[in-house]
Amino acid sequence: MAPADTRTRIVWDYAPAPESADHVRLRSRYGLFIDGDFRDPVDGVRVDSINPATEEPVAEVAQAGEADLRAAIGAAREAQPRWAALDGLERGKYLFRIARLIQERARELAVVESMDGGKPVRESRDVDVPLAAAHFFHYAGWADKLSFGVGGRPATPLGVAAQIVPWNFPLLMAAWKLAPALACGNTAVLKPAETTPLTALLLAELCQEAELPAGVVQIVPGDGSVGAALVRRPGIDKVAFTGSTVVGKDIQAALAGRGVPLTLELGGKSANIVFEDAALDQAVEGIVNGIFFNQGHVCCAGSRLLVQESVADTVITKLWERMGRLRLGDPLDKNTDVGAINSAEQLARIRALVAAGEEEGASRRSVACELPDRGWWFEPTLFTEVAPAHRIAVEEIFGPVASVLTFRTQAEAIEKANNSTYGLAAGIWTDKGAKAFEVASALQAGVVWQNTYNHFDSSAAFGGYKESGFGREGGPAGLRPYLRVG
Amino acid sequence: MSRLAVRKTYKLYVGGAFVRSESGRYDRAADFNVPRASRKDVRDAVAAARKAAGPWAARTAYNRGQILYRAAEALESRAGEFGVPRAELDAAIDAFVHYAGWTDKLAPVLGGVNPVAAPFLSFSVPEPTGVVGLVAPDEPSLLGLVAELAPPLAAGNAVVAVLSEAAPLAGLDLGEVLGVSDVPAGVVNLLSGRRGELAPALAAHPGLNALVDAAGDAELATQLDRLAAESVTRVRHTAASATYADAVRDPLARLEAVTELKTAWHPVGA
Amino acid sequence: MLGKRSIKTTAKEQGIRLAVSMLDLTTLEGADTPGKVRHLCAKAVCPAPTMPEVPSCAAVCVYPSLVGVARGALDGTGVRAASVATAFPSGQASLEVKLRDTEDAVAAGAEEIDMVISREAFLAGEDRRVMEEVVRVKEASGDAHLKVILETAELGSYEHVRHASLLAMEAGADFIKTSTGKAASGATPGVTLVMLEAIRDYVERTGRPVGMKAAGGVSTSKAALHRLVLVKETLGDGWLTPDRFRIGASSLLNDLLMQYQKAQSGRYARADDFSRE
């Protein structure tokens, strides 16, 4: 008996695959985390943290005022000598506990990260949270081996570290700051970004659960003015900042004459270079990962696509076709590739620069996406016929916008790639190993990816050249910014 | 009427399983019958280690570090099962933690990029030597074993260990703890028995890449050196670790003894 | 990114039905008999009598000696009778023998021929001989459509898989297929993607559509749905039809049915809920 012939065309589309949020234990309001506990701000204000995909508040968060910053630094100062005097192994064991707790509460942290910041849950689940746990794990193991990481020299901590992190990888950046600082025997006052404080506050809860001694870590949310105030306060022995170049310069100037060591991890306009002998399909996948990962909200995003002229048409065609399959939408849907833009302000900045690109004469194509009516969204966009002088080729857009420029020779590619005040990262796509290494050694970039892009590891140093900042995070190089050596 | 206890049977830990000695012989230790492993058990253990060594080395350093940390977790939660002083147990747990933190630090410390005077990228990376034999000291029966077991594991090797002859129970109990941790089958193999029979059999086995001797017996040491020479097995003699500080002193010496350095070259140029 | 798609609810049910409709239900054992083949044909025609909305499979695939039996059992049902040929699986025989093998299968009623390329020629770098054989077998197949098996596990690298794909398509293959099912690995995600990309490039250049069959290693519903994702996102919705995409499997069908039943009823099914053949 033959059944009904249901082989006539089945149109197959992906049904919604929402990551459930009902296991998330978020309070409705958070205080400042100072000296081991949450407390109300003395002179700070309370604000809602907004979900950029829905424009709804997720939780109410306290921001720090001057008195609160003084208290936070005071608590860190008080706790520091005892923390530093602990056996390295004991310090390490606290960090191992935190790493484990991040792993145990991984799913919850990933969901909250996406709700607070707008990035697809698949990314926060598969990249942000695992890397954060790994970072704590890696530095836990350095805590009792510091001299091996600094060439056998004696090393002592600096003291109290003031740390400011951005909104694009909130939990991961907090891990990149806290783990090495604590492993080396420093204590910390960390200010998460204004729009994304929640995972840092959950991390504070994990510190409590790990029984981290009070005062070793402070979490004091706030906007840009709170960060500016923090670095200007007395009583800090080290400043570490990840964020925009313009704010980085302000911080560097604010520390003038104070002798406080500084590390900066700033913006970029990284070149992703595709040679004619690259494996083109893989290169296209790498380009997409390089600029559309996290909606392009990545300091090391491959936002300048330099394609060898002989393959430019092919690459652009393949790239545009691939972009058409990117799924934009609910960050909590596991099939979403492109999530929400982090804030209305950032969306306005992207729109302004994209408009400038069109005015300058570049040719714009944007993927036709159905945008939800609420929330802040920008369609993946491709600019071709871009000249090196165009604003969209020079300024950091920090959005899902790729600009394509062409080159004829290897020397020209290197020259164009280096012709920037930034120097954070670069990508090289070629099947020839010797060429990949030669180009890598000529690029003025702190991170060079060969035949891949946007890979991070807690053991691999990361940081920029030129106005992309100075200092490194990851590996033994990430210890030195937090130690007085020799 | 009081309840009759179910007595424990001690077994060897080989290839991830708990097995009797193929010889069927036994020794007495503190009211227990303990397997007296034979040369054939050594042979089987080395085979199990060899089989496990490749996949263990292929895991990421991060993964090995997590597994060793979990071994520490498992040991801590089963502390009450061991008949050794608490201080010794704590030291053994902490030794696992310390060496868990070495897995992804070996490469930057022992390896690096070589600034060769020609247009080449040349780099040297430490790799596990493969299968490491270990002769544990008589005491301390747990820490003395862990201090020499954790470093080869951290470096990515599989291990065959001859346990303390005088006090093998703690080592066999450790086998049970490892059996429930994430350590893959065959990566650690533990044999109880007569050191005089087993250590020479181990040293003479050509399937071994390196041998660590912590027995502290000069005559045995010389015998092992001669046997190892037959297949250029690398040998390290060391004193027993009595404290945590002993176990983590000069960690590079322990790690270097069980790693090989591979240097690779690639041209840089158009 | 493509490896991480989450297929749930209605998409899962539809995907499973689609996958069933694309199955070449296969038996290629020394112990195959007419009885076994007839049972398999009945299952291919009506995989789940209790769930009539589940479609028939695409084809039944057997050795040349039994394709006549299959054809007899399948006539009029819409399920195609497919036969392997060309000294399957190794292909280590003279061209004359391989052509005769093909002719026998066609004469017995095969509507589809699954041939193997000569890996011996390919790995020796003899591209022309590889292609020549495909051309001759295509001739010998007459009206039957020709699938060319690359045996990707033996080719050694993705470059080789892509190269072999292009050779087969240039020589006239109607479908390119990953594996015989008799080698160490089959339609892994990487191999599947490489072959789909080769098809995409070939179609772009020549305008002639070529189908793809993923065989070997696709034993769970999850794996099958993942291959469908790859097809959808590489070649587009137009390739999500049995005329352009097939899955070669045997035990997969029951896993698909069990997953389908779970999706419908909310409860996990047992292997015994479905006949094994």
In the prediction, which pLDDT does A7 show?
Answer: 44
CA torsion angle for B58, B62, B68, B71 (degrees, to 10)? -110
The residues of A that are catalytic are 265, 299
Q: Which residues of C are catalytic?
A: 114, 177, 213
Cβ within 8 Å, pair A435-B270: yes
Which residues of chain A make contact with B102, given a CB cutoff of 8 A?
Answer: 141, 145
d(C-alpha A377, C-alpha A374), whole Å: 9
Place of tokens 């570290």: A161
- Inter-chain CB proximity B109 and A141 less than 8 Å: no
Q: Which domains does chain B have, with CATH numbers?
A: 27-267 (3.40.605.10)
Query: How distant, in Å, are the alpha carbons of A76, A184, A223 from that of A161?
Result: 9, 11, 19
Beta bridge pairs of residue A263: A240
Interface test with B, best of A87, A439, A459 (most B CBs within 10 A): A459
Do residue A3 and residue C54 have CB atoms under 8 angstroms apart? yes
Look at A438 and B251 and tell me if their CB atoms are within 8 Å. no
| CA A50 – CA A43 distance, rounded (Å) | 22
Q: Do B105 and A93 touch (CB under 8 A)?
A: no
Q: What is the 3-state secondary structure (H, E, C) of B199-224?
A: HHHHHHCCCCCEEEECCCCHHHHHHH
Quick one: how far is CA C91 from the chain centroid?
18
CATH code given to domain A271-458 = 3.40.309.10
Give pLDDT, residue A2. 40
Task: Please say whether the beta carbons of A441 and A285 come within 8 A.
Answer: no
Interface residue C230 vs chain A (CB under 8 A): no
Residue A184's Cβ-count burial label (10 Å; 0-12, 13-18, 19+) is: buried
Tell me which chain A residues have a C-beta less than 8 angstroms from the C-beta of B103.
141
Domain with CATH 3.40.605.10 in chain A: 29-266+468-485
Residues A388, A391, A392: CA angle, nearest 5 degrees = 80
CA A15 to CA C39: how far, in whole Å? 35
Give yes or no for A15 touching C (CB within 8 A): yes
Nearest Cα residue to B139 out of B180, B172, B167: B167
Contact by Cβ (8 Å): C253, C47: yes
- Is C2 a residue whose pLDDT tops 60? no
The span from the CA of A96 to the CA of B136, in Å, is 29
What's chain A's average pLDDT? 95
Question: Which residues have CB under 8 Å from A13's CB, separation 6+?
Answer: C11
Per-residue pLDDT tens for A293-339? 999 999 999 999 999 999 999 999 999 999 999 999 999 999 999 99
Question: The tokens of B223 are what?
Answer: 């015998």
Chain A contacts of B265, Cβ < 8 Å? none
Helices (H) and strands (E) in chain B, counts: 10, 12
Which of C6, C15, C58 comes nearest A334 by C-beta?
Answer: C6
Q: Report d(CA C12, CA A10) in Å as an integer.
A: 12
Cβ of residue B151 closer than 8 Å to a chain A Cβ: no
Closest chain A C-alpha to B163 CA, distance in angstroms: 27
Q: Which residues of A26-53 are buried (b: 16+ CB within 10 A; e: fewer)?
A: beeebbbbbbbebeebeebeebebbbbb
Angle at the Cα of A151 from the Cα atoms of A146 and A155, rounded to 5 degrees = 45
CATH of the domain spanning C9-266, picked from 3.20.20.70, 1.20.5.50, 3.30.70.270, 3.40.50.10490: 3.20.20.70
How many Cβ pairs within 8 Å bridge chains A and B? 70
Chain A residues with CB-CB distance to B251 below 8 A: 145
pLDDT tens digits, residue range A10-51? 668 888 888 888 888 899 999 999 999 999 999 999 999 999
Beta bridge partners of A307: A274, A406
pLDDT of residue A10: 60
Does the structure show a pLDDT above 60 at A228?
yes
CA distances to A272, A307, A419, A441, A462 from A412, rounded to whole Å, are 14, 11, 10, 15, 26
**What is the model's pLDDT at position A11?**
67
User: How much is the average pLDDT of C70-99?
Assistant: 96
Mutate to test the interface with A, among B60, B98, B249 (most CBs of A within 10 A): B98
Q: Which amino acid type is present at position A178?
A: L
Whether B97 and A92 lie within 8 Å, measured CB to CB: yes
The rounded distance, in Å, linking the Cα atoms of A445 and A424 is: 5
CA A181 to the chain's CA centroid: 18
- Complex-level ipTM beyond the 0.85 threshold: yes
User: Which segments of chain B have a pLDDT < 50?
Assistant: none
Question: Residue with structure tokens 């652009």?
Answer: A316
Q: Are A215 and A78 in contact (CB under 8 A)?
A: yes
From the list C148, C146, C130, the residue with the least C-alpha distance to C138 is C146
Angle between helices A245-254 and A224-232 (to 10 degrees): 30
**A441 at the C interface (CB within 8 A)?**
no
pLDDT of residue A4: 41
Contact A335 C242 (CB under 8 A): no
Interface test with A, best of B63, B70, B109 (most A CBs within 10 A): B109
Which of B5-9, B63-67, C38-42, C62-66 has the least mean pLDDT?
Answer: B5-9
- Tell me if B140 sits within 8 A of B88, measured CB to CB: yes
| Predicted pLDDT of residue C274 | 80
Chains that touch C (3 or more CB pairs under 8 A): A
Alpha helices in chain C (DSSP H): 9-21, 34-45, 64-74, 95-108, 119-123, 127-141, 158-170, 189-206, 221-235, 252-265
Phi/psi of residue B51, nearest 5 degrees: -65, -35
Are the CB atoms for B178 and B142 separated by under 8 Å? no
Q: HSE-up of A338 (CA within 13 Å, CB side)?
A: 29
Cβ distance of C11 and A12 shorter than 8 Å: yes
Which of C2, C6, C7, C200 should one mutate to test binding to chain A, selecting the residue with the greatest count of A CBs within 10 A?
C6
The end-to-end CA distance of chain C, in Å, is: 36
Give yes or no for a contact between B211 and B227, defined as CB atoms under 8 angstroms apart.
no
Of C5, C10, C17, the CB nearest to A6: C17
pLDDT of residue C3: 58
Kindly state the average pLDDT of the residues A410-434: 96
With tokens 């005097």, the residue in question is: A85
Nearest to C224 by CA among C272, C263, C264, C259: C259
pTM greater than the 0.90 cutoff: yes
Please tell me the distance from the alpha carbon of residue C19 to that of residue C56, in angstroms, as a whole number.
10
Superfamily of domain A29-266+468-485: Aldehyde Dehydrogenase; Chain A, domain 1 (3.40.605.10)
| C189 to chain A, closest Cα gap in Å | 14
CB within 8 Å: A134 and B267: no
Count residue pairs from A and C with Cβ separation < 8 A: 75
Those residues of chain A whose CB sits closer than 8 Å to some CB in chain B are: 89, 92-93, 96, 134, 137-138, 140-145, 148-149, 410, 433-435, 437-438, 441, 458-459, 475-476
Q: Is the per-residue pLDDT at A259 higher than 80?
A: yes
Residue B236's DSSP bridge partners are: B212
CA A44 remoteness from chain centre: 26
d(CA B190, CA A148) in angstroms, rounded, equals 32
Is the CB of residue A165 less than 8 Å from the CB of residue A192? yes
Nearest chain A CA: its distance from C44 CA (Å): 10
The subunits that touch chain B, with at least 3 C-beta pairs less than 8 Å apart, are A
Burial of C37-55, coded b for 16+ CB within 10 Å and e otherwise, reads: bbbbbbbbbbbbeeeeebb
Element (H, E) at A161: strand A160-164
CB contact under 8 A, A89 and B98: yes
Query: Is the pLDDT score of A9 beyond 60?
Result: no
A176-214 pLDDT per residue, tens: 999 999 999 999 999 999 999 999 999 999 999 999 999
For residue A11, give the chain C residue with the closest CA: C237
List of chains touching A (3+ CB pairs within 8 A): B, C
Chain A nearest C-alpha distance from C192 (Å): 14
**How far apart are alpha carbons C45 and C80 in whole angstroms?**
10
**Residue C272 φ/ψ, nearest 5 degrees:** -70, -10
Question: Are C11 and A13 within 8 A, CB to CB?
Answer: yes
C90-95: average pLDDT: 95
